[in-house]
Structure 1
Amino acid sequence: MKERTAVMMLMLTAIVWGSGFVMTDIGLVYLSPYQLMAGRFILAAIILISIFSYKLKNINKKVLIKGAILGTILYTGFVLQTVGLQYTTPSKNAFLTAVNVLIVPLIAFVIYKRKFDRFEMIGAFAALIGIGLLSLESSFTMNIGDVLTLLCAVAFAFDIFYTNKFVQKEDAILLTVVQFIVAAILSVIFMLLFDHIPTSIEAGGIYSIVYLAIFSTIIAYLLQNIAFQYTTATKAAIILSMEALFGMIFSVLFLSELLTFRMVIGAFLILLAIIIAEVKPTFRKKQANLIGKLKN
C-alpha cells in the first residue's frame, strides 16, 4: 500500500515538474536564469522554515551534512542545466537531462554493487527512447551546452540516488528543509557572482517565482523525498521521467506547441516504461507462487 502511495506521489511530482517548464519559460521573459533560481529557492526556503519551524529543534549533525550534500548536488544540477541551455536547444537539453534515468542504476552498481534489475533497466531504456522522441527535433550533434547538460543529468541522478538513500534513515521533511536552505544560499552566491540583484520585478516574473517556489520546489520535492522512503531509486527515476510527457502536454496546451505523431509514440513509450517498472513486483510474486505450486 505504501509503495502504491509512493508511486502516486512521484506521479504528482512529475506532473508539477512538467508544468514547471511553462512557468520557467514565462519567468525567463522577465528575469535571468540566476535571478529566477535565486527567487525560487529563497522563497521556498523561507516558506519551508515557516511551516516546519517546529521540526527544526530535531536537526542534528547527520541531517545537516546530508541535507547540505543534497542541496549542493541539486543546485549544481540546476546551474549546469541552465548554463547548458544557453548553448544548446531546449529539446536536446530536456533529452540529455533525462539521461539520469540510466545513470541512477549505474551509480547503484558502481558504488554499492547493486545488481542491475532487468525490469528496471528495460523500463529505463524505454523511458529514454520515449523522451528522445518527445524532445529531439534535429540531428544529434554535441557541443559545450550538450556536455554541460550531460553533467547536469549526472548531478540529478546523484540527487535521486542519495535522496533515496538518505531518507531511509533521516526525517525526509528535515532533509528537504536543509536541502533548500543550502540551495538558496548557493543561488544567492552565484547570482552575485554572475549576475545582479534585480531592482524591480514585473508581475509575470513574480507569478513565476511564486509558482516555481510553491509547486515545483516545495510541494514537488516534499512529495519526492517522502515517496523515496518506499521505492527504489531506479524505479523512482523512471516514474519521474514522466516529467517530459507532462511538459509536452502543458506546452501543447499553454504554449501552442505542435503535437506530432512522433511525440505521441514517445509518450506511449514513457507510459510503457512506468508499467514495466510497476508490474515487476506482481510478476515476480506470481512467478514465485507458480514455482512453489510446481514443487508441491
Structure 2
Amino acid sequence: METSKRRKATLGLLAVTLAWGLTFIWMKQAMNAIQPEIEAYGRTPVVAALVGGRFLIAFIALFVISKEARTALQNPQLWKGGAILGGILLVGFITQMIGLDSITPSTSAFLTSLYVVFTALITTKLTGQRVTRTMILGVALATFGAGFIEGPPHLSWGLGEILTVICAFFFALHILFTQKITQEMDPIGVTSTSFLIVSLGSLLVMIASARTSTVDALAVVHSEGVVLPLLCLGLIGSLFALLLLNLLQRHLHPVQAAIIYALEPVWATIFALKLGMTTWTGWIAVGGGALLIGNLMVELQESPHILDVEEE
C-alpha cells in the first residue's frame, strides 16, 4: 500500500477517536438528563431510544447530502453489508450502555478495551494475517493504557462486566467486518444502510423491552437536555466518525486500526478534565503514555511488515 494512503488513513482514524472522545461527554449529558425516564420506563428501552435516535439523525443527514447514500437503498448487496455492520454495532452499543449502569467507568473502559485483544486474536485465527511481535506489544500497551487511564479497574464479574466483554467482542467483529465489507462495497452506501439498520433494530429492542407504551419511551429523545447532545452524537459521533472509518480503515491492518481506536479514552479524559467532570491523577499519565507508546510502536514499524500477510 502507498505510504500516503496509509498516512491519510492513520490521521483520519485519529480524528475518529477524537470525535468518539467527545461522544463520552454528550452521552453522559444525555443520560444524566433522563434519569427519571430510565426509572419510569426501564434502562433498555430508553437506551435503545437514544441509540436509535442517534443513528436516525446520522442516516437522514447522509441521505440528504449524498447521492450514493440514496441509491444504496435500492442495492440488495449494500443492504446485506449494512445489515451485518449495523447488527454488530447495535449489539455493541446496547450491551455497552446497559453494562455501564452497574459498573464503574474505569472497569467499563478496561473491559471495552479488550476489543483490541479480540481483534488481534480473531485476525490471526480467521484471516491469515499474522500479528507481528511489535503489534502484540502494541496491543498489550493499548489495552493496559485504555483500561487503567481512570485508575485500576475493580472486577467482580457480574452482569455488567459480562455484557461489557460481549460489547468488546462485537466491536472487534465490527472492525474486522468493516475491513472486509468496505473493500468489496461502496463505503458510503454501506454506511447509509448500516445506519438505517441500527435505527430499525433499536426500535425493535425498544418495543420488546418497554414496560409501558413505546410512545412513552420515544418521547425520551425530546426531553430537556437531550436534544442537543443527541444531535451531536448523530452528526459527529455517528455520521462523521463512522463514515470516515468506513472510508479509511480499509487502508490499514485491522489490528493497527484497533490500536488507534484505543486512543478514544485519552480524548475523553482530556475533555472531561477541561469540563471539570474528572480530576487529574497519575493514572491518566500512565494510561495515556502506554496508549501513545503502543500506537507509536506500531506506526513507526515499517509499513510492509504491518500489512503483509506472512506465509506458512
Tell me if both proteins adopt one fold, taking TM over 0.5 as the criterion.
yes
2:172 pairs with 1:151: no
Looking at structure 2, the residues matched to 272 and 238 of structure 1 have their Cα atoms a distance apart, in angstroms, of: 11
Kindly state the Cα deviation for residue 282 of structure 1 after the two structures are TM-superposed: 5.8
2:298 pairs with 1:277: yes
2:64 pairs with 1:50: yes
Change (3 A) 1:162 1:200: closer
- Given candidates 134, 140, 144, the residue that maps to 1:125 is 140
- Match runs of 1:156-175 below 5 Å: 156-175=171-190
2:55 pairs with 1:41: yes
Question: Which stretch shifts more, 11-20 or 128-137?
Answer: 128-137
2:287 pairs with 1:266: yes
- Given candidates 188, 194, 208, the residue that maps to 1:179 is 194
> How big is each residue's C-alpha offset from its partner over 1:197-221, in whole Å with a ceiling of 9 and x where there is no partner?
2167244200011000000000000
Looking at structure 2, the residues matched to 30 and 129 of structure 1 have their Cα atoms a distance apart, in angstroms, of: 32
Q: What is the root-mean-square deviation of aligned Cα atoms in Å?
A: 1.8
Change (3 A) 1:172 1:271: same
Looking at structure 1, the residues matched to 168 and 117 of structure 2 have their Cα atoms a distance apart, in angstroms, of: 10
Kindly state the Cα deviation for residue 104 of structure 1 after the two structures are TM-superposed: 0.6
Aligned 8 A contact 2:29 2:225 in 1: yes
2:240 pairs with 1:219: yes
Q: Which runs of 5+ in 2 are unaligned?
A: 35-45, 211-216, 307-312
Question: Which stretch shifts more, 148-157 or 193-202?
Answer: 193-202
Kindly state the Cα deviation for residue 68 of structure 1 after the two structures are TM-superposed: 0.7
Looking at structure 1, the residues matched to 174 and 221 of structure 2 have their Cα atoms a distance apart, in angstroms, of: 33
Q: Is the partner of 2:147 in helix, strand or coil? A: helix
In structure 1, the residue matched to 2:95 is 80
Aligned 8 A contact 1:22 1:254 in 2: no
Percent sequence identity over matched residues? 27
- Match runs of 1:179-258 below 5 Å: 179-195=194-210, 196-198=217-219, 201-258=222-279
Change (3 A) 1:284 1:49: closer
Change (3 A) 1:200 1:3: closer
Q: Which runs of 5+ in 1 are unaligned?
A: 286-296
Kindly state the Cα deviation for residue 279 of structure 1 after the two structures are TM-superposed: 0.7
> How big is each residue's C-alpha offset from its partner over 1:236-269, in whole Å with a ceiling of 9 and x where there is no partner?
0000100011111111111431111121111011
Aligned 8 A contact 1:98 1:128 in 2: yes
Q: Is the partner of 2:222 in helix, strand or coil? A: coil
2:86 pairs with 1:71: yes
Aligned 8 A contact 2:149 2:283 in 1: yes
**Structure 1 runs of 4+ with >4 Å offset:** 282-285
2:12 pairs with 1:9: yes
Could you state the TM-score of these two structures normalised by the residue count of structure 2? 0.86
Could you state the TM-score of these two structures normalised by the residue count of structure 1? 0.91
